[in-house]
Amino acid sequence: MTTDDGRRTTDHRPQTTNYGRQAVRAGWGVAPTFEPNLPRRKVMGMVWEGVALLAILLGIAMLLTLLVKVFVDGLPYLRPQLFTEFPSRFPDKAGLRSALQGSIWLMVMTALLSFPLGVGAGIYLEEFAPKNALTRFIEINVANLAGVPSIIYGLLGLGLFVRGLGLGRSLLAGVLTMTLVILPIIIVSTREALRAVPASIREAALALGASRWEMVRDHVLVYSMGGILTGMILALSRAIGETAPLITIGALTYIAFDLRGPLDIFTVLPIQIFNWVSMPQEAFHRLAAAGIIVLLALLLTMNALAIWLRNRLQKRW
Amino acid sequence: MSRKLLLSISFIVLLAVIAACQPAPTPGPTPTPQVAVTVVREVVEVTPTPGPVEGTILVDGSSTVAPITMAVAEEFQKLYPQVRVPVGISGTGGGFKKFCAGETDISNASRPIKKSEVEACAQNKMEYIELPVAFDGLAVMVNPANDFVTCLTVEELKKIWEPDAEGKITNWSQVRAGFPDRPLTLYGPGVDSGTFDYFTEAIVGKAQASRGDFLPSEDDNVLVQGIAGDPNALGFFGLAYYEENKDKLKLVAIDAGDGKCVYPTLETVVNGTYRPLSRPLFIYVNRARADEKDEIDLFVKYYLENAKTLVLDVGYIPLTDEIYSLAMQRYEKRIVGSVFKGGGPQVGVTLADLLKAEQ
């Protein structure tokens, strides 16, 4: 090896390199004329630290610009009417009552439906399923489904729920479609939460004569509930911002009446915001900003809920 | 410590949002009844007879016509609180698909029904009544820094937009002798929109025939930003978007070939001198449903009676009284089919003549 190569090799080593080590290395015959060049390496370190800092600052600056713009535009419109009034052609009277109802109903029903399905599937795959080619195939597909664009689910929902089951453009069709969107995410996160429970716990339960289901119910599930709920609420946070699949299944744009039930037609916050953004009048754009703040608040609340639940339910083994 | 802090912060956020959400799900008493009453009085001149009608009227279709139908629905629902009128936006074409399949009662359309759509409706034995509700002017715009364009002829616009111009007409100096040597950048609505259909029909002579190398956007506000930020830009979209952005854009007058440069205004669009870029907007009503359901019948009549004021509210141009009354007659006589005979967007026809011809 040449001197040059030798120096490059030593450059990879941690900075603790000192002359003593170098002497040892010289003894190996790797780098007979090693120069530490400490000042240059320190400069390089600082340069890279700067580049990394710039990368994070750029992201934060973008986010701040966005937030500041949204808040400056939207705050004047963040008033009680925004929550109590229906959309209107006059921005001063317009609110997102129907959209907020739609979003909250959609979230609650999607949560009720996707929790048992997603967690159940996760538990089966992780704790009960035999490890064979079929389950491996299912596992790979579930993981892939988590990355499928949501509009594809919208098309599926349109064919299956809206037309196939004859649910029409109802909230229920929206709930079922949204459940499909987030199920893979819930399954994957449930499995990760279950996997985090050490095997010794399972073995201890089984050794004391618990059946497999008792072991899962009384031990594994209890210890992993914090993680499962976190994944669940993060999945719901994704669902609340989704527009594409709901537009595909025919969620409406203008609704000026209260939601009556799961089979009623509906709209959601992102659709209302999108509609306001595309209006010609500047005032509607500000109204849209106010809508974005409400959506953000809802999202942050759900995330806060996730953190709170995790801290509350997390049990140590 | 920090976890406690985080917890309490998240709890406060939670409380704030719950408090903010509270009024929404609980209907309670009508929040601002005074406002509602005055608005109704302003708009409604027809004798309000809020009867026991109830039901849901499903409307879908063009995004251009949607604001008008939303405005009518808003006022109508104040008069008949038991009737629910939701409005969807899926484009003129998407709207007709649902309409002809019987999924909707009324379809908004920014162009007349096309032959293929006529056939789709006929297959389902669906009869419909075509009613004009407003005019929309298409505005041609340049950047305010552009000091050499004030008026363009239809010929010049055709030269710019026709399919053959793709990759060839790329400089303002090619448009008219005497224009400076500056690159030409083009902005227009997406090719799925009725606006694009109409513009190409009116300027190039064939719907959808256009060069492909322009910057398209489905969102007219994006086009506004594009033209406002590019000194070499030329673009077109609905007049309503120009009205809201007068300070950022420069309107171009159109010469239809007779040497007269005309700007789109309320008067020139209504009296037909702003040619050929003013178009009628329509609603299509499912005839059988209008016969069956009182609420649909009432809604359509209310629409035609009050469109004049409501259309202005949302930035479009009302039809003449004559056309509104002709449309009303057409509706009352239940004359089905399209006056345009499935020809799609048509340019240079006056609605009044077409409607009179069939009465």
Asked if residue A188 and residue A135 are part of one domain, the reply reads: yes
Per the CB < 8 Å rule, is A304 touching B25?
Answer: no
- Do residues A115 and A155 share a domain? yes
**Low-confidence stretches of chain B (pLDDT beneath 50):** 1-2, 5-7, 9, 11-45
Q: Is B261 helix (H, G, I), strand (E, B) or coil?
A: strand
| CB contact (8 A) between residue A256 and residue B67 | no
- Look at A100 and B24 and tell me if their CB atoms are within 8 Å: yes
Domain holding A227, by residue range, is 80-313
The distance of A263 to chain B (nearest Cα, Å) reads 13
Q: Which residue among A84, A251, A304 places its CB closest to the CB of B24?
A: A84
pLDDT of residue A10: 45
Q: Where are the domains of chain B?
A: 3-46, 55-135+280-358, 137-278
What are B292-348's pLDDT values in tens digits?
999 999 999 999 999 999 999 888 999 989 899 999 999 999 988 888 876 656 666
Query: In the CATH hierarchy, which top-level class contains the domain B55-135+280-358?
Result: alpha beta
By DSSP bridging, strand B278-286 and strand B106-109 are antiparallel
Q: Based on the fold, state whether residues A56 and A173 are members of the same structural domain.
A: no
Contact B66 A253 (CB under 8 A): yes
- Per-chain mean pLDDT for chain A: 87
Are residues B139 and B251 in contact, defined by beta-carbon separation less than 8 angstroms? yes
- A166 lies in the same domain as A228: yes
pTM confidence score = 0.78
Cross-strand partners of B234: B142, B186
| A140-177 burial: b if 16+ Cβ within 10 Å, else e | eebeebbeeebeebbebbbebbbeeeebbbbbbbbbbb
Indicate if A43 and A121 belong to the same structural domain: no
Quote the minimal CA–CA distance from A10 to chain B in Å.
42
CATH number at residue A181: 1.10.3720.10
In terms of domains, do A58 and A146 share one? no
A46 and A27 inside one domain: no
Give the number of C-alpha atoms closer than 13 A to the C-alpha of residue A293, restricted to the C-beta side: 26
Largest CA distance in chain B: 82
Report the pLDDT value the prediction gives residue B193, as an integer from 0 to 100: 79
Number of CB pairs, chain A paired with chain B, less than 8 A apart: 118
Q: What is the ipTM of this complex?
A: 0.75
Please indicate, yes or no, whether residues A269 and A305 belong to a single structural domain of this protein.
Answer: yes
Token duo for residue A239: 């669902």
State the Cα–Cα distance between residues A204 and A208, nearest whole angstrom: 6
Residues A256, B220: C-beta atoms closer than 8 Å: no
Distance from CA of B78 to the nearest CA of A (A): 10
Let me know whether A152 and A293 are in one domain.
Answer: yes
The CATH homologous superfamily to which domain B137-278 belongs is Periplasmic binding protein-like II (3.40.190.10)
Q: Which of B8, B18, B21 to mutate to test the interface with A (most CBs of A within 10 A)?
A: B21
Q: Is the Cβ–Cβ distance between A91 and A283 less than 8 Å? A: yes
Cβ within 8 Å, pair A282-B244: yes
Equal fold, B55-135+280-358 vs B137-278: yes
Domain count along chain A: 3
Take residue A64 and report the two structure tokens written for it: 């701040």
Same domain, A45 and A59: yes
Residues A53 and A92 in one domain: no
In the predicted structure, residue A279 carries a pLDDT above the cut 70: yes
* Residue A296 and residue A205 share a domain: yes
* Residue B288 amino acid letter: A
pLDDT tens across A217-276, in order?
999 998 898 889 889 988 998 899 888 899 888 888 899 999 888 899 999 999 999 999
Q: What is the mean pLDDT of chain B?
A: 83
DSSP letters for A275-299: HHHTSSSHHHHHHHHHHHHHHHHHH
> How large a percentage of chain A has pLDDT more than 70?
89
Pairing of strands B185-189, B55-56: unpaired
